Amino acid sequence: MPQPQTIIDKLWSAHEILRRDDGESLLWVDRHYVHEGSFHAFAKVAARNAKVAEPQLTFAVTDHYVPTRRPHSEISNPELARMVRQLEENTAAHGITLFGLDDPRQGIVHVVGPEQGLTLPGLLIVCGDSHTSTHGALGAYAFGIGASEVAHVLMTQTIWQKKPKKMRITVDGATAPGVSAKDIVLAVIAHIGADGATGCALEFSGAAIRALSIEGRLTLCNMSIEAGARCGIVAPDAATFSYLKGRPYAPSGAQLDQAVEFWSKLSTDSDATFERDVTLDAKNVAPIVTWGTSPEDALPIDASVPDPAREANTERAAHWRDALAYMGLAPGNRLTDIAIDRVFIGSCTNARIEDLRAAAAVLAGRTSKVPGLVSAGSSLVKQQAEQEGLDRVFREAGLQWGESGCSMCVGLNGDLVAPGERCASTTNRNFRGRQGPGARTHLMSPAMVAAAAVKGHLADVRELLAGRKV
Amino acid sequence: MDNFHTLTAVACPIDLINLNTDQILPARYLKWTRAMGLGNVLFQDLRFDAQGRERADFPLNNPAWRHAKVIVGARNFGCGSSRESAVYALYDYGIRCVIAPSFGDIFSGNAVQNGLLTAIVTDEEVAEIMAALVRAPKLALTIDLERQSILCNNRSYAFSIDPVRRMRLLNGWDDIALTESYRDRIAAFRTGVHAQRPWTFPHS
């Protein structure tokens, strides 16, 4: 009898070229995504007079530095234009396909990869961006790396890694209406902590995970880095195969049959064990918002801001005090009493078509009490949303409808939350200054951001969904 | 890459959990090349207020700790964004070692690539070292990577570090040269992948 294996073991061994005596393995990289921020790595390649080893396995996207308000594919800000031009030059020099500014397939790298069928089950995928964990939603082993490692992958198509510990998060049961993948993953992070999965590869399993659409699974795996995980994985299933069918770079015909046969074996054997197992019941997950400056500072919307004086752990109490001062909140404030200045719907976490539909379902026929921006995850998502009339819903509610990019998640491209402003946001990080110096970010699902927009304060979306089709 | 053996230097305690790479280096400096002086903007928004004045309560602004080569931090130091520029900023400021109970995975991987030691001790030990530094800010720590020890006020603490990372720091390895020595095995593996999983090579 062969040893029972987890999906993590199976993906690992399918990519291990060699393992040294010290335990470090050299892994084959199937897919490497690069973006404007990869310029450090291209400079390292140039410094060695080296070539990109596998340009046909490397794909580039402009996302981090592209303004969302850009007429005719032009960037007026010279610094941002230079960042985009640098990527154009580097990819042209090495023969790498670029989904650039004027390409209809442009968008956020973690949205474009799955959308184009470049991200497939069983692949090992890296990118110089921590949210590369997103791609695990399709059953890939995907993780973020730094610039030195990006340079190494460009030159060798391999990466040195030590096999991480294995952790499984099982979410049983079914979620209630108004509760999304974002709420599940925020509940997980609040439960295990922002370092709860550090050093681990994470498999998500259970009925509530199986019930998620591919979009929902992408949100889930996207945020696994916010629990410190190396990567997050959902085993591929019929929903995965159906999502991939007909996508431009996905296999087709006989090759698809061959691939599906391989992909179908990518699940954890029933007797396989994990170093750590955590179980949650989906029925206990309510719509969640963050109140502090770490994604672990997350609570159900009907809760109140916690009191550091009542926290026994002194380190955590100190963090809470610091977070409350930065966020301009006091212990005991009801979350639903927190007034907001702005909303943002976008980012690699929550800007896929399903996310935009969920927000639009709440906003339809209503007005936002605060200004806000909606930036679709890709130019193709934007196009589809426009075909469905979602752009009209957002515009009629008073929100701006921008082009696709990392936008107000990352503070790099001109989309910023002003100092002291409070933003209800579908993004992944409520870090101090993440959306701009002094910005105060509350993370939540797209539907919850829409609810906050309608009310002008953090609000329970379930009250706004009564009688609506979602 | 410079290698690391021992270091005796002033250490600055920064008692903030989940101190993420957005704090170490704010995003607006990510378009900078290293030559533009990333060390000058290390912890920019924690060190300075919106008017560019130093925040007196940030430890690295304490005259005793201004020239520290070691940071003693709290759990999950360097979590968040994969930006290697955060490591460049620390290194170019003069930091050669960060001691903490845990680190963000990507951050500690980036650190070893650049000769920055990330040394792991327990929460209690970090608290003791921080307390010692607050009592005697000019106290120098001695960090010995060969022995995996930190000497603080005549007390020795054992720290942990992944053995591969330790060897890399001691020897200052060049990863790419090492990998290229396996060129034939990589080529053979590629051939196998191409034959067994042809769909992994996209053609559109």
The full DSSP string for A378-432 is BHHHHHHHHHTTHHHHHHHTT-EEE-SSSGGGTT-SS--PPTT-EEEE-SS---T
Mutate: best of A133, A257, A431, A441, partner B, most B CBs <10 A: A431
A228 and chain B in contact, CB less than 8 A: yes
Same domain, A337 and A456: yes
Domain count for chain A: 2
Domain membership of residue B25 (yes or no) is yes
Return the pLDDT at A341: 98
Same domain, A168 and A37: yes
- Collapsed DSSP state (helix, strand, coil) of residue A222: helix
Q: Choose one of A276, A305, A334: the last residue of a domain.
A: A276
Same domain, A173 and A321: no
CA distances from A211 to A137, A180, A201, A204, A233 (A): 13, 11, 22, 12, 15
Same domain, A456 and A354: yes
Domain membership of residue A29 (yes or no) is yes
Same domain, A143 and A61: yes
Return the pLDDT at A73: 66
Whole-angstrom Cα distance, residue A202 to residue A233? 6
Domain membership of residue A139 (yes or no) is yes
Task: Name the residue with tokens 């105060």.
Answer: A440
Provide the residue range defining the domain that includes A96. Answer: 7-276
Comparing CB atoms, the residue among A22, A30, A410 nearest residue B164 is A22
pLDDT in tens, A397-416: 999 999 999 999 998 999 99
Domain count for chain B: 1
Domain membership of residue B52 (yes or no) is yes
Whole-angstrom Cα distance, residue A130 to residue B80? 7
CB contact under 8 A, B80 and A130: yes
Q: Choose one of A276, A300, A334: the last residue of a domain.
A: A276
Same domain, A319 and A223: no
Return the pLDDT at A75: 87
Return the pLDDT at A74: 77
Domain membership of residue A1 (yes or no) is no
B76 and chain A in contact, CB less than 8 A: yes
Which chain A residues contact residue B16 at CB under 8 A? 319, 322
Domain membership of residue B71 (yes or no) is yes
Domain membership of residue B95 (yes or no) is yes
Same domain, A244 and A359: no
CB contact under 8 A, A438 and B204: no
Provide the residue range defining the domain that includes B37. Answer: 6-173
pTM: 0.97
Residues 133-192, chain B, touching A (beta carbon < 8 A):
162-164, 167, 175-176, 179-180, 182, 185-186, 189-190
Q: Choose one of A276, A310, A339: the last residue of a domain.
A: A276
Containing H/E element for B185? helix B183-196
Q: Which residues contact A102 (CB under 8 A, 6 or more apart)?
A: A73
> Is the CB of residue B65 less than 8 Å from the CB of residue B58?
no
Please tell me the distance in Å from B61's CA to the nearest CA on chain A. 18
CB contact under 8 A, B182 and A433: no
Domain membership of residue B141 (yes or no) is yes
Domain membership of residue A49 (yes or no) is yes
Question: pLDDT tier at B107 (50, 70, 90 boundaries)?
Answer: very high
Same domain, A117 and A16: yes
pLDDT in tens, B13-32: 999 999 999 999 999 999 99
Whole-angstrom Cα distance, residue B95 to residue B115? 10
CA distances from A363 to A63, A397, A451, B119 (A): 27, 7, 8, 50
> Is the CB of residue A237 less than 8 Å from the CB of residue A207?
no
Max CA separation in chain A (angstroms) = 64
CB contact under 8 A, A437 and B30: no
- Collapsed DSSP state (helix, strand, coil) of residue A363: helix
Same domain, A265 and A311: no
Domain membership of residue B114 (yes or no) is yes
Low-confidence ranges of chain A (pLDDT < 50): none
pLDDT in tens, B171-187: 988 889 899 999 999 99
Same domain, A141 and A239: yes
CATH (domain of B19) = 3.20.19.10
Return the pLDDT at A445: 98
Whole-angstrom Cα distance, residue A225 to residue A231? 7
Domain membership of residue B58 (yes or no) is yes
Same domain, A47 and A108: yes
Which chain A residues contact residue B189 at CB under 8 A? 17, 28
Return the pLDDT at A1: 66
Q: Is the pLDDT of residue B204 over 90?
A: no
A410 and chain B in contact, CB less than 8 A: yes
Domain membership of residue B154 (yes or no) is yes
Alpha helices (runs of H) in A6-136, residue ranges in sequence order: 7-13, 39-47, 78-94, 109-115
CATH (domain of A265) = 3.30.499.10
Same domain, A347 and A270: no
